[in-house]
Structure formats: structure tokens, C-alpha cells
């Protein structure tokens, strides 16, 4: 059996990549993907713990996160398209004003 620490280290690496991408990247799509990466990093640690301790709640929680993430993706992408239509850019540094 793969030890728990492996999962956790992978989870940490995924989460770290997500954070790094979120901080460094300017393209709004990439940032969005980084967020998904962080969520899935966390999901991985949830299921790893759930398997380790034979507790179902961790797995259930992951489903909830996935559902929310799916909803968020839908809304988020819609917003991104709307932003692109008005600003004609995907650079987050250019969309720091609420007013046009």
C-alpha cells in the first residue's frame, strides 16, 4: 500500500503549483486553472485521509467540493467571456477597475 505521506506530499506539490500559478500568471484563464489545481490538491489529501482512517466523510466532502468547483467553473468562465468582450484582454492587471 502506498503510504499516506506520498499522497500528502503530492497533494502539497499540487497545491503549491496552484498557488504559484495563481500568484505569477497574469492570464485570467491560467489563474482560473490554478485555482482548480489547488482545489484538487486539497481533494487528494481529503480522499487520502479518508482511505487511511476508513472514514467516509472525507470522500463525501470531495464530492461536494467537485460540485461547487463545477458550478464555479461555469460561472467563472461566463464572467471571463463577458470580461473579454468588454475589455478585449485577459490580463488581470488591466481589469483592475470596476468602471469602464
Partner 1 sequence: MTASTLNPSLNPTLNPLLWMIPILPLAGAAINGFFGRKSSKKAISTVALVFSGAAFGIVLWIAAGFSSALAPYSDPVAHWIRSGSFSVDFEFYLDQLSLVMLLVVTGVGFLIHIYSVGYMWDDDGYYRFMAYMNLFMFFMLTLVLAKNYLVMFIGWEGVGLASYLLIGFWFTKDSAASAGKKAFIVNRIGDFGFLIALFLMIKHFGSLDFTRVFAAVQPLSSETAGAGLLTAIGLLLMLGAAGKSAQIPLYVWLPDAMEGPTPVSALIHAATMVTAGVYMVARSHMIFERAPMAMTVVAITGTLTALFAATIGIVQTDIKKVLAYSTVSQLGYMFMACGVGAFSAGIFHLMTHAFFKGLLFLAAGSVIHGVGGEQDMRKMGGLRVYMPWTFMTMGIATLAIAGIPPLAGFWSKDEILWQAYNASWVYWLIGVITAFITSFYMFRLMYMTFGGEYRGGAVQKEAAHGHDAHAHDDHAHGHGEPHESPWVMLGPLVILAVLSLIGGFVGYGNRFEHFLAPVFQQGADVIAQETSSAAEKSTEYLLMAVSVSLAALGWLLAYLLYSLRPQLPARIAASLGRLYQAVANKYYIDELYNVLFVKPLLDGSTTILWHGIDQGAIDAAVNDSADAARHVSDNLRHMQSGNLRSYAGWVAAGGAVVIAYMVWMGVR
Residues contributing to the site for partner 1 (CB under 8 A): 19, 22-23, 92-93, 96
Q: Considering the complex, state which of residue 59 and residue 90 has its C-beta at the smaller distance from partner 1.
A: 90
Q: Considering the complex, state which of residue 53 and residue 63 has its C-beta at the smaller distance from partner 1.
A: 53
Q: For the residues of 8-22, what is the DSSP string, one character each?
A: HHHHHHHHHHHHHHH
CB of 3 to partner 1, least distance (A): 18
Interatomic CA distance for residues 66 and 43, integer angstroms? 8
CB of 56 to partner 1, least distance (A): 25
Q: Is 98 helix (H, G, I), strand (E, B) or coil?
A: coil
Q: Considering the complex, state which of residue 88 and residue 93 has its C-beta at the smaller distance from partner 1.
A: 93
CB of 19 to partner 1, least distance (A): 5
Measured in residues, the chain has a length of: 100
Q: Considering the complex, state which of residue 50 and residue 92 has its C-beta at the smaller distance from partner 1.
A: 92
State the Cα angle at 93 between 89 and 24, rounded to 5°.
105
CB of 96 to partner 1, least distance (A): 7
Sign, CA torsion 55/59/60/62: positive
Amino acid at each position: 500500500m502506498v503510504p499516506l505521506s506520498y499522497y500528502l506530499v503530492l497533494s502539497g506539490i499540487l497545491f503549491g503549483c496552484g498557488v504559484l500559478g495563481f500568484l505569477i500568471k497574469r492570464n485570467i484563464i491560467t489563474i482560473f486553472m490554478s485555482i482548480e489545481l489547488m482545489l484538487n490538491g486539497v481533494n487528494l489529501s481529503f480522499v487520502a485521509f479518508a482511505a487511511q482512517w476508513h472514514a467516509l466523510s472525507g470522500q463525501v466532502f470531495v464530492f461536494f467540493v467537485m460540485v461547487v468547483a463545477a458550478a464555479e467553473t461555469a460561472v467563472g468562465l461566463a464572467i471571463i467571456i463577458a470580461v473579454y468582450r468588454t475589455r478585449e484582454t485577459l490580463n488581470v492587471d488591466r481589469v483592475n477597475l470596476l468602471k469602464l
